[in-house]
Amino acid sequence: MPITITMPRLSDTMEQGTVVKWNVKVGDKVSSGDALADIETDKATMELQSFDDGVVAALPAKEGQKIAVGETILILAAEGESVDAAARSGGASQPAAKSASEGGSS
């Protein structure tokens, strides 16, 4: 089953974030702890890291786009799952990936 990664709340006052830069592209394999994107909040720019292993199936959020907290920004296909099928199904909602400031490594 695909995994949907949503825009995380990276500060108490954050209501939306901007994807400054994607560090992955569709088809890339990612592992837990890999840097997915740089996210700009109302206070800082932080690195967003993956909690899961998989293959990037879709990047619904574009660089420079403001996304509300909780909205889908990335869909991962599980190992052995079709990337196209995962992108079409939208995935199961998962907690947002972790930022480097939340204990992830840089």
Q: Which CATH number fits the domain that encloses residue 76?
A: 2.40.50.100
Tell me how many domains the chain contains.
Answer: 1
Query: What does the pLDDT read at residue 78?
Result: 84
* Residue 106, in any domain of the structure: no
* pTM of the predicted model as reported, rounded to 2 decimal places: 0.77
Residue 49: inside a domain = yes
The rounded distance, in Å, linking the Cα atoms of 8 and 15 is: 9
Q: Is residue 105 part of a domain?
A: no
**91 in any annotated domain:** yes
Query: Among 32, 6, 3, which residue's Cα sits nearest to residue 19?
Result: 6
**What's the pLDDT tens digit per position in 18-28?**
999 999 999 99
pLDDT digits (tens, 9 = 90+) for 3-19: 999 999 988 889 999 99
Q: Domain of residue 88: give its range.
A: 3-98
Q: What is the mean pLDDT of residues 48-69?
A: 95
Q: What is the pLDDT of residues 59-72, one digit of tens each?
A: 999 999 999 999 99
- Whether 104 maps to a domain, the answer reads no
